[in-house]
Amino acid sequence: MMEIFRLPSENGIPPLSVHRQKRDGAPVLYVHGASFPAALSVGYRFQGRSWMDDLNARGFDAWGLDFAGYGASARYAEMDGPQAGNAVGRAPVAAKQIARVAAFIAQATGRPRLSIIAHSWGTIPAALFAIAHPERIERLCLFGPVVERDAPDDGAGTPDPCWHLVTIAQQHARFVADVPQGHAPVLIEPELEQWGPTYLATDPQAFDREPPSVKIPFGPMSDAKEAWTGKLAYRPQNIPCPTLLVRGEWDSVTNDDDAQWLLSRITHPVRADAKIPKGTHLMHLEWSRDGLFAAVGDFLSREKE
């Protein structure tokens, strides 16, 4: 059964929503990416089964965080204002939210350490958290991580917006962009038949807009842009724990060169790379998710190395 906790505002961090599917095993926290929260990712059930369910079946105490600005967590005050302004929800701020939730999980479970599964942009604040709090982190799974590239910064000098709007059509286009032309759909819901309306429902004002859309922080996009222009927010050499990089065969966000860049810089002796066949950047929404779940579950289940 899903439990939802509401953490009050603390040290400038807005109230946060934390999801739990309880088991007696070691805690695992899922950290979402740039555009959709825990209930639409680790907690979303396709054909009656979610990633949280899979983690529970493997004996783990499964947790999910909604960053401020997403899902059931509070929005940044700036998101009620004009779109122009400083991007909210940057990785250093998000890392402090992870630390807030990790402390809550430690208190709730009596276990001082936890493992983290982080997706896409969420890998940046997750890595920042792990580096800042080595005493809290057991294992780190980086699913489709955003890593450093050396692209030119064509937008230098142009300020990023505070927030942006995302429609279901935009999400769908992004979700299917990496599937080879002519290949059968790999999304479990090819047209996001149920996922789409559920996503829109995470923003109470979504249907006041035309087309309906979800307002989310722009900070993750700013972090990704900086990473791809040579300014990743953390140094992989400083990751203090066993680390798995897991990605889909067709993932353009984390291609083979990206994986090599990251793995060659992680200095912890326990590091692994798993590439899942016929998967994209959104494997947790695709038929390839069983391979993803197995790779992550097996890594988390290893004895201490």
Q: Which pLDDT tens digit goes with each residue over 237-254?
A: 999 999 999 999 999 999
304 or 161: which leads in pLDDT: 161
- Identify the burial level of 84 via C-beta atoms within 10 angstroms of its C-beta, where 0-12 means exposed, 13-18 middle and 19 or more buried: exposed
* Whole-angstrom distance, CA of residue 109 vs CA of residue 22: 10
Interval 60-76: pLDDT, tens: 999 999 999 999 999 99
User: Token digits for 49?
Assistant: 């089964």
DSSP 229: B
pTM: 0.97
Which of helix, strand or coil describes residue 26? coil
* Whole-angstrom distance, CA of residue 160 vs CA of residue 112: 38
* Whole-angstrom distance, CA of residue 292 vs CA of residue 119: 12
Which of helix, strand or coil describes residue 4? strand
CA-wise closest residue to 138 among 296, 272, 304: 304
The Cα-based distances of 245 to 54, 208, 220 in angstroms read 19, 40, 20
* Whole-angstrom distance, CA of residue 78 vs CA of residue 85: 8
pLDDT given at position 184: 97
Range 198-223 average pLDDT? 98
Interval 118-137: pLDDT, tens: 999 999 999 999 999 999 99
pLDDT given at position 194: 98
Buried b vs exposed e over 101-135: b needs ≥16 C-beta within 10 Å? bbebbeebbeeebbbbbbbbbbbbbbbbbbbbbee
Among all chains, which residue has been given the structure tokens 């505070």? 162
pLDDT band at 204 (very low <50, low <70, confident <90, very high): very high
Element (H, E) at 262: helix 256-263
Q: What sign for the dihedral angle of Cα 177, 180, 183, 186?
A: negative
List beta partners, residue 6. 17
Range 89-94 average pLDDT? 98
Among all chains, which residue has been given the structure tokens 């979700």? 175
Strands 27-31, 114-119: parallel, antiparallel or unpaired by DSSP? parallel
Q: Domain 2-301: which topology? A: Rossmann fold (3.40.50)
In the predicted structure, residue 220 carries a pLDDT above the cut 80: yes
Range 71-86 average pLDDT? 96
In the predicted structure, residue 26 carries a pLDDT above the cut 90: yes
Strands 61-66, 27-31: parallel, antiparallel or unpaired by DSSP? parallel
Range 262-267 average pLDDT? 98
In the predicted structure, residue 303 carries a pLDDT above the cut 80: no
In the predicted structure, residue 305 carries a pLDDT above the cut 70: no
250, 180 Cβ separation under 8 angstroms? yes
List beta partners, residue 118. 31, 142
Range 192-199 average pLDDT? 98
Range 68-86 average pLDDT? 97
